Structure 1
């Protein structure tokens, strides 16, 4: 007789039809949990009321049949924000805003000081009501997992812990008070104090804290030094093997370097773009081209124009996730960038694992010695070039050109990245649920 499945309550704001990288972490866990003997129930926001920066209906195909998804109402101020600024909902890090207007700066101040930890806290009471209804109906759960951002979601877990003593896993995809765009919120000292207090309360009360990188784990450990290190686990993002069934088809008529995702001026790729121009000038016979797939901020568009790269660059607006995989497979090499911001050693973009699965050489612009650097080195998948390391950039680009001239297919030797597969990472999550 088989054992009864573990029951996990997953609370996440971002869920299909929301798009973007943050959705996929919980979605892929839920996709693989039933086959591992865990029955997930998902509580998320009603998409008709949600404040999603982007939509991606293709992700709904990953929700397993039979998984219960409970969608609740919410109470958020984003409709008022849009009326005040006449702008769309801000992306993470205000990537879609560029230089803020006076109205946007006022909205940021209000957001940073009156809505703590963030404006989506208005969703919490609706979730708590939904959970109470489940528990009053006699349902039991082996654990609750709250995933953030928005970090206000962690206060739901904190309240459930206080009320019902449920085993609680706090999954933090990004740092909380140390997130790189916090300065843009213009927080006052009282607001900073209260936000840090919320953060410490969550770290202290959760049964396990899950982070995406070793450096973020170290950062959070330092917030409450008396907590045991064993309470903090690293579960990176990963890649889903099922997404990579198509063959790799690098172009033969050009040396194409592709970036997939959001990129802003904070990514500090200007020196690299100038070195690409110089490389094109040194090797006029080699058709070196760039391609950006996703959100490209105005600052980057200006840098492309100023360096003369616009004619050599293809910009593809946001595409559904399943289409983005095709761009990873149909390129010569892949470009990754880490924002040039404080605490960036622990920034580990989810795309790095899909880059690995695509089996292309990776050029990463970012800090040497970072978590991203270690992953590229251990997988022999590329190298990190510091933001101003122009000599290293020149050397690396020249090596890439020379290799391409010998063979336009620069795909890396087949190496197993199975430890970063979504299924393997979900198995590790199951152990955390049971422990």
Structure 2
């Protein structure tokens, strides 16, 4: 039995995608001879809470907690608006909002959880000296967690795996941060040091692996995945021609081309206008709502706030088709949204707006689960929606996906477990 210490900011009752990856690994670790110990925050500030995820925590698992000082709680008080943006950056900040973004970007590096680093290192050094841990694992963002691992590696020379659920300097919003030249340099230096010092680096996609492998040749792709508990549930499909998007839709993910395409289809096809319903489940940016209003799509769009993970799965399986949108940013090719894997087990056709040569497109091709439309290809987007609608009217709308078993959380946990055993040999 190998024992690992997992450092993560996000842990149930945290909701959203950030908590899923390591919660599911921990759920299955004992099947492969791994005993996990969790280190997380005592007083977190989670934007989303989902108590239903607590059922996946194994019984009698050791969970260590230490308090954190979160300056965001203070900064947000001064910069808060009645209309909040979805995502890290407000697309239309107030004057005070711009000041707060500048402070956050340049004085809290790598992020506002930096004040957790020093007390965590102090606490965990004592813990590691009296408890046998074979490997420590850090998962980010927030990337401050990786700096805890870096310091422990330097001081105790422990085996260390750094897991990147998202990139650091290549993350979708990095180019939007109001960073000074000095701040940018610090980010790149810290990222490089983490990559160089880690014994292994885990990433969620091959584009990130290619980029990180220039610094560390021990980079391994372990994608996110789906869990089997929902795999065989039968749910009656929606009577309308529903296209459902689940998750955050921020300004970078605002599909302006989609609003234009739907508007034209609604105008050109009366039957489509009557049957079509776009469901947006989760937090959406004000620019998204503005786009819907601009094209007068209120009758065909339903906004649904955050719902529990169990309810999300139900919505996915009921939908006639599923919508997936990648942020239209310089790093778009390497973005793989976590929801793609649960979309796969819903076994409904997936319509994605993303780079046609990106990591996401590769997964959809390998699984035959859907179609990818390029960001500016409105003609192809309209045609594909009409194709799906035609199949819906004939009651023939279905997908013949394949090879999705490789993304089962248990199979992915097996791969991580093998890496842990290799590292401790």
Q: Which residue of 2 aligns with 1:244?
A: 231
Q: Which residue of 1 aligns with 2:91?
A: 98
Q: Are 2:254 and 2:288, in contact at CA under 8 Å, matched by a contact in 1?
A: no
Across the aligned residues of Structure 1 and Structure 2, the Cα RMSD in angstroms comes to 1.8
Alpha-carbon distance between aligned partners in 1 of 2:123 and 2:26, rounded to the nearest angstrom: 19
Q: Which residue of 1 aligns with 2:402?
A: 415
Q: 1:215 to 1:395 in 2, by over 3 A?
A: same
Shift of 1:87: 4.8
Q: Are 1:38 and 1:430, in contact at CA under 8 Å, matched by a contact in 2?
A: yes
1:85-138 deviation per Cα after TM superposition (whole angstroms, max 9, x unaligned) = 13599888426x3311111111111111111111101112232233123223x2
Q: Which moved more, 1:264-273 or 1:85-94?
A: 85-94
Aligned-partner SS, 1:258: strand
1:164-191 deviation per Cα after TM superposition (whole angstroms, max 9, x unaligned) = 1111000001111121212333111111
Q: Which residue of 2 aligns with 1:41?
A: 37
Q: Which residue of 2 aligns with 1:258?
A: 244
Aligned-partner SS, 1:401: helix
Q: Which residue of 1 aligns with 2:345?
A: 357
Shift of 1:280: 2.5
- Listed as ranges, the matches of 1:176-325 within 5 Å are 176-222=168-214, 224=215, 227-228=216-217, 231-251=218-238, 253-286=239-272, 287-325=275-313
Alpha-carbon distance between aligned partners in 2 of 1:76 and 1:300, rounded to the nearest angstrom: 29
Alpha-carbon distance between aligned partners in 2 of 1:62 and 1:125, rounded to the nearest angstrom: 30
Q: 1:158 to 1:88 in 2, by over 3 A?
A: farther
Q: Are 2:316 and 2:322, in contact at CA under 8 Å, matched by a contact in 1?
A: yes
Alpha-carbon distance between aligned partners in 2 of 1:334 and 1:260, rounded to the nearest angstrom: 8
Which residue among 50, 59, 64 is the counterpart of 2:58?
Answer: 64
Aligned-partner SS, 2:113: helix
Q: Does 1:406 align with 2:423?
A: no
Q: Which residue of 1 aligns with 2:49?
A: 55
Aligned-partner SS, 1:94: coil
Q: Which moved more, 1:168-177 or 1:270-279?
A: 270-279
- Structure-2-length-normalised TM-score: 0.95
Q: Does 1:150 align with 2:142?
A: yes
Alpha-carbon distance between aligned partners in 2 of 1:313 and 1:383, rounded to the nearest angstrom: 22
Q: Which residue of 2 aligns with 1:379?
A: 367
Q: Which residue of 1 aligns with 2:108?
A: 115
1:251-279 deviation per Cα after TM superposition (whole angstroms, max 9, x unaligned) = 2x311000000002212411122212222
Alpha-carbon distance between aligned partners in 2 of 1:422 and 1:337, rounded to the nearest angstrom: 23
Q: Which moved more, 1:123-132 or 1:110-119?
A: 123-132
Q: Are 2:257 and 2:378, in contact at CA under 8 Å, matched by a contact in 1?
A: yes
Alpha-carbon distance between aligned partners in 2 of 1:121 and 1:69, rounded to the nearest angstrom: 21
Shift of 1:283: 2.8
Q: Does 1:433 align with 2:420?
A: yes
Alpha-carbon distance between aligned partners in 2 of 1:350 and 1:318, rounded to the nearest angstrom: 16
Alpha-carbon distance between aligned partners in 2 of 1:9 and 1:248, rounded to the nearest angstrom: 39
Q: Are 1:170 and 1:209, in contact at CA under 8 Å, matched by a contact in 2?
A: yes
Which residue among 68, 75, 81 is the counterpart of 1:81?
Answer: 75
Alpha-carbon distance between aligned partners in 2 of 1:83 and 1:274, rounded to the nearest angstrom: 37
Q: Which residue of 1 aligns with 2:119?
A: 126
1:184-227 deviation per Cα after TM superposition (whole angstroms, max 9, x unaligned) = 331111111111111111000000011000001112223x2xx4
Q: Which residue of 2 aligns with 1:345?
A: 333
Q: Does 1:166 align with 2:154?
A: no
Q: 1:90 to 1:301 in 2, by over 3 A?
A: closer
Q: 1:366 to 1:268 in 2, by over 3 A?
A: farther
Q: Are 1:244 and 1:325, in contact at CA under 8 Å, matched by a contact in 2?
A: no
Shift of 1:27: 0.5
- Which ranges in structure 1 are unaligned for 5 or more consecutive residues? none
Aligned-partner SS, 1:75: coil
Alpha-carbon distance between aligned partners in 2 of 1:88 and 1:418, rounded to the nearest angstrom: 44
Aligned-partner SS, 1:233: strand
Alpha-carbon distance between aligned partners in 2 of 1:283 and 1:406, rounded to the nearest angstrom: 16
Which residue among 123, 128, 134 is the counterpart of 1:135?
Answer: 128
Shift of 1:394: 1.7
Q: Are 1:78 and 1:89, in contact at CA under 8 Å, matched by a contact in 2?
A: no
Alpha-carbon distance between aligned partners in 2 of 1:195 and 1:110, rounded to the nearest angstrom: 15
- Structure-1-length-normalised TM-score: 0.93
Aligned-partner SS, 1:22: coil
What count of residue pairs does the alignment treat as equivalent?
420
